[in-house]
Amino acid sequence: MKVYQSNEIKNISLLGSSGAGKTTLVEAMLFESGVIKRRGSVAAQNTVSDYFPVEKEYGYSVFSTIIQTEWLEKKLNFIDCPGSDDFIGGVVTSLNVTDTCLILLNTQYGVEVGTNNHYRYTEKFNKPVIFVANQLDHEKADFDKTLEQLKENFGSKVVQVQYPISVGPQFNAIVDVLKMKMYRWKPEGGVPEVLEIPDSEINKAQDLHNALVEAAAEHDEDLMEKFFDQGSLTEDEMRLGIKKGMLHRDMFPVFCVSAGKDMCVRRLMEFVGNVAPSVSTTKKPQTADGKEVSPDLDGPTSIYVFKTSVEPHIGEVSYFKVMSGKVKEGNDLVNIDRGSKERLSQIFSVAGQIRTKVDELVAGDIGATVKLKDTRTGNTLNVKGCDYDFKEIKYPEPKYRRAIRAVSESDEEKLSEILTRMHEEDPTWVIEQSKELKQTILYGQGEFHLRTLKWRVEHNDKIPIEYKEPKIPYRETITKNARADYRHKKQSGGSGQFGEVHMIIEPYYDGMPAPETFRFGGQEFKISNRDSQTIDLEWGGKLVLINSIVGGSIDARFIPAIMKGIMDRMEQGPLTGSYARDVRVIVYDGKMHPVDSNEISFRLAGRNAFAQAFKEAGPKLLEPIYDVVVQTPSDRLGDVMSDLQGRRAVIMGMESEKGYEKLSAKMPLKELGSYSTTMSSLTGGRASFSMKFASYELVPMDIQDKLLKEYEASKKEED
């Protein structure tokens, strides 16, 4: 493969819902460009793109796959992204390193939830979009309805470049209103006949051509002036106008293909090669400190590792984009994130599992290398003296969680290593070793996402694992003031132990004024604030300790020990053993012994006094509440709302978005455990949702009582 320059390189994300036909389109493009001699199929499990065993097993894409090919003296770097929302990480990764997006639509279904989800990400990353209507040969294909939905969802920016003469099993021809020609294929597809537009279609084609010319002219003053003067533009001028419109997301061209029959694939590739923005014309990437970096061939060598995978018979493969300069086989680079040195012993141009050794890649190109020693996804490697450091990719919040463990305890350490490796391959698999819950918690984007991980661990690594419903990280707090005192006294020959602590506790909130007096049982306690400590608890909330000791009843040197004792109980609340939070403690009196008092004595006295006071202070459980946003088809709104209300969700708002309803709600984490699966079942997989931690709120009394009984029962079993 020749070395392509930055203005000859096009980086394109292939997006769209599951079943839109992205992997099939990749096969057709690779076949047309001569990379493969025979097209594979998803059904036959022999595609270039879906080559991992788990993808063959389930019949859908799990990982984004880099596909590189040459067409019309251009290098086209496609990244085939998974369609399922469970594997959205692949889409986010891809959009960080590509410049244009092809969004495929299955014309049986038109604009789906996945279409909208992927479009929103292109909006977030400000990427040009080309819509591709696929599967026009299917008996249920409906191009007109698909086009109508595109315009309804994405507005007047949607502009036709092509339309089919007919759809269904008889599909074999399209009219291209940019070239003003008809393309017709034989049953085997491939190279078409290029014909004049028949009389029966000329009026429709001319109308669409005029609309395309006008749309192209809108984005360039010179073109607009020429359009007004001459009433038309040349094909090259239209391409220029379309490119400018795409760059500003003011124009979304629509193309037609039948990827399965290899029809119109060549023409799509031609358009991408000629019109899609190249690396040198798109927005410059920024480093973490906001510095713009031009894809300059003469700049310092810098590469960004955006994806890591462990692949059959090879091991670890690192995929990178050349951000600046040129990278060559044998280059020694410095990992700016980790401070280590790396040698690129080999570099490859890749097409799925097909890897071709190359000597050099230039700024803007995408490649791969193997067996880097100390480089992870999101790291930047630079030539010595270069300080570029590109941002790590930000992924969506997880939506599904399960406790994971190896069936055999002896496999736990190995499982931990495997999970760390798999997080590198897919950063949306997040692993937490929870000291609080005493569980390993695996987070992901949905049930399928975690099921895929389980399959890989059990089939590839041969370690049986099991999932359990994870515990909920409840919090404990108090709702009223309470007072307690405790004397710790122990004498066992020699020096003994003695410490006595009197304290008051109260609920705490930020900005709360310092206390002056308390009244308990008709007795008034005046507070003298000699010293105050505020601890921001690592699990959320605060603990405030006020030293109100007067007259030296407890020496100041024992206050830290009392604080340690209080923290002991804060880490294991008396209700359910959960972390406690938002408490203010006033130590106002006590006693000590000149010989027997020591730190351990006051630690134990402080811990027990706090535990007694906590139980008298109206203790309550708090539960984590999440902000949940659901997008559902309008016809499933009633079912979705009923299910939400059954999960103790509070609906905060609702708005319509062109055939879909967007619901905002607050929902307890306890009720979100199986929500992903239930929502998919209720809506036929047509809805999606996101969730983000919001706050801790009081648990309803009936649920608190139930939780307390469960905790007491579990403690008895342990005893």
pLDDT on residue 367: 96
Lowest model confidence (mean pLDDT) among 163-177, 468-482, 580-594, 654-668: 654-668
Region 443-457: mean pLDDT is 93
The domain locations on the chain are 6-199+250-281, 302-382, 400-471, 476-618, 622-703
pLDDT on residue 160: 97
Query: pLDDT tens digit string along 59-97?
Result: 778 889 999 999 999 999 999 999 988 899 999 999 999
| CATH fold match for the domains 6-199+250-281 and 400-471 | no
Round to whole Å and give the CA distance between 555 and 596. 13
Look at residue 712 and tell me whether its pLDDT is greater than 90: no
Query: pLDDT tens digit string along 561-571?
Result: 999 999 999 99
Closest C-alpha among 355, 393, 172, 166 to residue 263: 172
CB 591 within 8 A of CB 487: yes
pLDDT on residue 279: 86
At 493, the pLDDT band (50, 70, 90 cuts) reads low
Look at residue 132 and tell me whether its pLDDT is greater than 90: yes
CATH tag, 476-618: 3.30.230.10
pLDDT on residue 719: 58
pLDDT on residue 231: 74
At 718, the pLDDT band (50, 70, 90 cuts) reads low
Q: What are phi and psi of 691, to 5 degrees?
A: -145, 145
CB 245 within 8 A of CB 178: no
pLDDT on residue 658: 67
Look at residue 642 and tell me whether its pLDDT is greater than 90: yes
Closest C-alpha among 472, 479, 464, 484 to residue 509: 479
Round to whole Å and give the CA distance between 416 and 406. 9
- 3-class secondary structure for 80-114? ECCCCHHHHHHHHHHHCCCCEEEEEEECCCCCCHH
Task: Kindly report the length of the chain.
Answer: 719
184 against 313, higher pLDDT: 184
CATH tag, 6-199+250-281: 3.40.50.300
Closest C-alpha among 548, 477, 487, 536 to residue 510: 536
Given CATH 3.30.750.24, say whether it is the number of domain 622-703.
no
Domain 400-471 class, CATH top level:
alpha beta
Global pTM reads 0.86
Q: How far apart are the first and last CA of the chain?
A: 70
What architecture is domain 302-382?
A: Beta Barrel (2.40)
Q: Mean pLDDT of all residues in the chain?
A: 92
Q: What are phi and psi of 536, to 5 degrees?
A: -80, 110
pLDDT on residue 590: 96
Region 137-160: mean pLDDT is 95
How far are the Cα atoms of 4, 468, 502, 625, 628 from residue 671, in angstroms, in the given order?
53, 15, 41, 10, 12
